Amino acid sequence: MKVPQALTDLIESFERLPGIGPKTAQRLAYYLLHVPQAQLSDFAKSLENLKKNTLLCSICKNVSEGDPCSVCTDSNRDREKIMVVEHPLDTLAIEKTSKYKGLYHVLHGAINPLEDIGPDEIFIKELLLRIKDWDKGIREVIIATNPNMEGDATAMYIARLIRNSGVEVKISRLGMGIPTGADLEYADEMTLTQAIEGRRQM
C-alpha cells in the first residue's frame, strides 16, 4: 500500500517536533485531512511567518515583534531590577504571577559542558554589558535559571562574573523549596534540604 506523499511529508514534519513520536505524528496528519483548507492555510502561514515576523530584542534578547521589545521600552516597569532566565517561555511564566515588574534578560540556554555549551554560547556577555554600561540604574539582578545542575552552574558563573566586574548590585536567586500543593512525603531529599535551608520566619 502506498501512503500519499503529501501525508508522509506532513508526518515527517510532525515527527521532527520534540515529544511527538511516529504514532502521534501519524494521528495528527490524518486528523488534519478532515480540517477545512482555510485552517490548514492559516497553520501553514503562521509557520512560514514565525521567524520572519519575530526577532530578538537587542537589549534583553527576548523574542519580540519590534526592537527594543515591549518590556524594555515600557516606562512603567521597575528599571532597577533585571531577572535572568534561560528561555523566552520562562518570562511568560513569571509574568503570569503579576508579582514582578522589572526587566528581563534571556540567556537562551544554560552552561552545559556535556553538550558543548559554554558561557560564550549564551547571552552572558550581553548581560554584563547591560549592567556595566547601558542600564546604569540596575540595583538588583535576580537569577532565575532552572534549579538543576546546568542552571545552578550558570547562576554561580554569572554571580561571580558580576561580583568581579566591580559593579555594585544585589544578586539574588529564586527561592527553592517545596512547590505549593505538593506532598512533603514525596518530596526528594534535595528539595527538602533546600526547603530547610530556605526556611522563613512566620
Point out which residues bind a second copy (CB under 8 A): 1-7, 9-10, 12-13, 16-19, 24, 26-33, 35, 37, 39-54, 63-65, 69-71, 87-89, 91-92, 95
DSSP secondary structure letters along 139-193: -EEEE---SSHHHHHHHHHHHHHHHHHT---EEEE---SPPTT--GGG--HHHHH
Q: What is the nearest approach in angstroms of a second copy to the Cβ of residue 161?
A: 25
Nearer to a second copy, 70 or 193 (CB): 70
Nearer to a second copy, 9 or 190 (CB): 9
Contact 25, 15 (CB under 8 A): yes
**Strand, helix or coil for residue 80:** strand
Grid cell in block for residue 139: 540595583
Nearer to a second copy, 41 or 58 (CB): 41
Nearer to a second copy, 66 or 198 (CB): 66
Contact 108, 122 (CB under 8 A): yes
